Amino acid sequence: MSPSLVPLTALAAVDVGFARPRQAAVTLVTFAVVATLVAGGAALAYRWYFRAEIPEGVTGLLGVSVVALYLNTTSLGSVAIGDNPALLAPESVFFNLVSLGVAAVTAPVGRYAGDRLAVDVFALSGAKQLEGELSGMVRAVGRFTAVTLPPADEIRDMDTYDPASPEKKAELAETTLLFPRKISEAELRDRLVSRLKDEYSVGYVDVDLDADGSVEFFAVGSRAAGLGPTLAPGSAAVAVAADPPNNATVGDTVQLWRDDPEPKRVATGELRGVAGDVVTVALDESDAERLTEEGDYRLVTLPAEPQADREFASLLRTADETMASVAVGVGSDLDGSTVGEVGAVVAAVRPAEGPVQPIPPRAYAFGAGDLVYLVGRPDAIRRFETAAASPPDADGEAGGAETASAAARDAELDDIDEGTDFDAEAKVDEETGSDDAGGSEDGTAGGDDGTAGGDDANRSDADTAADPDGTQRS
C-alpha cells in the first residue's frame, strides 16, 4: 500500500469513543448534520417528482443508513491496513448505537425542512397545486393566494346531494391550491369551485372563503347517478320488450299498446332508453302495475309538446343551483324582510294563511310560518336557512316552539288534503242543491271562506317532489 494513503486511512479508522468526549461530540454532531442533509435532500427530491410528502420511515431509514455505511466503511478500512480494531468492545458498540440513534432522531428534522423548502420553492416557481402548507414568508411575498382545504374529518356533506366518498375526501384533504393574488373574493371562489370539479371530479362544492383565502366552510357532494333521481314522485321506470320506432329518442312521449286479443292502449309514458328490442319507459306507478312480462308491446310516438317542467328539471340537474324549501321561523332575521333582500331566487311562497304566491314581487314581505321555495346555489340557500331560523333565546308561545322543517310542513299539508273528502262534499252539494256548503257538521267544505279552493291549490302544490330533507325537485 502506498505510504501516502496509510495516514489518511489510519485517520479515518481512529477508534472514537466516549473516552475522548470532545472527539465523540464532534463526531456525533457530524453524524447528525449528515443525516439531516440526506433526509432533507430526499424529501425535496420526492416532493419534486411525486408532488407528495415523503413517508417518514423512508427518511429515517436513509439517515440511519448513511451513518451505518460510514461506520462499516471505516471498520473495513482499518482491517484492510492490518489494524485489529476492537469492533466488539463494549465501548465501540455503545458509541455505534448512540450514533445510529442520533441519526434516527435528526432525520425527521431534515424531512420536515426539505419538504417545506420544496413546497415554498415550487410555489414561487409558479406551480398551481401543492399538497402542504406554505410558510408565512412565502404567503407574504408570493404573487398568489393560497387556498388550503381542511382535513378530511372537517369536510362536510351537502344536505341536498349525495355524500362524497371517504376516498374523495381523503384526496382533497389539506390540498393547497394557488390562484392569482389580485382577484376578487367572488372570482376566487368561482375558480376554486371550477378547479375542484375539473381536476378532482367533484360534483358539487359549497365553500366560504375569507379575503386572504382561508376556508371557513367547505362541503362537497356527488352528482346523483342512475335513473331513480330523475323520476317524479308517483312514477316508475319499467323495461319492456317492444318494437320502438327507428327515430324514437329519449324524452319522446309514447303509448304502449297490446294486440292480444285486440288492440288496446295500456299506458302512456316517456321514453328513457332503447337497447335493441328492450325499451325503458317512465310512467305512473298505477300504469306500471298493469304491465306484464309476457308478450310484446307496440310503441306509438306522440307529437312533441312543450314540457317546461321537464326542461327545468333537466337544467336544474346539470346546473350549480338547486331547489329547496325553507320555513321562516318566528323572530328570525327574515321575519319582516322582503324578497328583494335575499340572495337566492324565490320561486314561490306558501304563506301560513292564504293562497300560494308564485314568483312573488320583490316587495313581498316574509312572515313567520311562510314556506319559501328557493332556487340558488347551495351557499345562498344555506345562508337563507340560517337567517330563517328562529333565535334560540326567543320566548313566548311563538318563540318557544321550534320552527317546523319544510318537509314537515309539506307532510302536514298533504295530510290535510288527504283527510278532506271531496267526493262526500260534492254529494252533499248535490243533495241540498245549494251553492253554500257552510252548514256541514265538520265545516270542511265551505263556499263562504273558499276552503275547498284553497285545498285544491294545496293538493296541486303537494304534488311537487319533496326529498326527506325538504329539498324540492322537479
pLDDT in tens, 105-124: 999 999 989 887 876 666 55
* Contact by Cβ (8 Å): 52, 46: yes
Average pLDDT on 248-259 reads: 82
CA neighbor of 12 nearest in space, from 88, 72, 68: 72
Average pLDDT on 30-48 reads: 91
406 or 319: which carries more pLDDT confidence? 319
- Give CA–CA dist 163/140, Å, rounded: 36
What pLDDT is attached to residue 6? 39
In this predicted structure, which of 63-67, 86-90, 345-349 has the lowest mean pLDDT? 86-90
Residue 438 has pLDDT above 50, yes or no: no
What pLDDT is attached to residue 431? 45
pLDDT bin (cut points 50, 70, 90) of residue 399 is: very low
145 or 167: which carries more pLDDT confidence? 167
Q: Of 287-301, 322-336, 380-394, which has the strongest mean pLDDT?
A: 322-336
What pLDDT is attached to residue 32? 95
In terms of DSSP H, where are the helices of 331-395? 378-388
Average pLDDT on 223-237 reads: 73
Q: Which residues of 448-473 are buried (b: 16+ CB within 10 A; e: fewer)?
A: eeebbeebeebbebbebbbbeebbbb
pLDDT bin (cut points 50, 70, 90) of residue 309 is: low
Angle between the N-to-C axes of helices 90-124 and 56-80, in degrees from 0 to 180, rounded to the nearest 10: 130
Q: Say if residue 261 is preceded by a cis peptide, omega within 30 of 0.
A: yes
Q: Of 93-107, 146-160, 373-387, which has the strongest mean pLDDT?
A: 93-107
Q: Residue 141 — left, alpha, or beta (φ > 0 → left; ψ -120 to 50 → alpha)?
A: alpha
449 or 177: which carries more pLDDT confidence? 177
Residue 389 has pLDDT above 70, yes or no: yes
- Give CA–CA dist 382/161, Å, rounded: 13
For each of the domains in the chain, give its residue range(s) and CATH number, in order of start: 5-123 (no CATH), 130-222 (no CATH), 228-305 (2.40.30.270), 312-473 (3.30.70.1450)
What pLDDT is attached to residue 458? 41
Helix, strand or coil, per DSSP, at residue 258:
strand
Backbone phi, then psi, for 331, in 5-degree steps?
Answer: 75, 10
Angle between the N-to-C axes of helices 451-462 and 406-419, in degrees from 0 to 180, rounded to the nearest 10: 130
What pLDDT is attached to residue 303? 75
Q: Tell me the pairing of strands 345-350 and 297-301.
A: unpaired
What pLDDT is attached to residue 455? 42
What pLDDT is attached to residue 62? 94
In this predicted structure, which of 60-64, 90-94, 135-139 has the lowest mean pLDDT? 135-139
Residue 244: HSE in the Cβ half-sphere, 13 Å Cα cutoff? 23
- Separation in Å, CA 472 to CA 39, 443, 447, 463: 56, 32, 32, 10
What pLDDT is attached to residue 322? 81
Average pLDDT on 30-37 reads: 95
> Position 292: which residue type?
T
315 or 164: which carries more pLDDT confidence? 164
CA neighbor of 348 nearest in space, from 326, 329, 333, 378: 326
Residue 450 has pLDDT above 50, yes or no: no
Residue that is written with C-alpha cell 340558488 in the block: 376
What pLDDT is attached to residue 402? 41
Residue 260 has pLDDT above 60, yes or no: yes
Average pLDDT on 417-442 reads: 42
Distance of CA 99 to the CA centre of its chain: 49
Q: What percent of the chain has pLDDT over 70?
A: 67
Long-range pairs for 88-93: beta carbons < 8 A, 24 or more residues apart: 91/17, 91/18, 91/19, 92/15, 92/17
Tell me the pLDDT of the chain averaged across its residues: 74
Residue 119: which residues within 8 A CB-CB, separation 6 or more? 47, 130, 132, 133, 134, 135, 176
What are 349's strand-pairing partners?
A: 357, 372
Which strand (E) or helix (H) includes residue 325?
strand 322-327
- State the DSSP code for 141: H
209 or 83: which carries more pLDDT confidence? 209
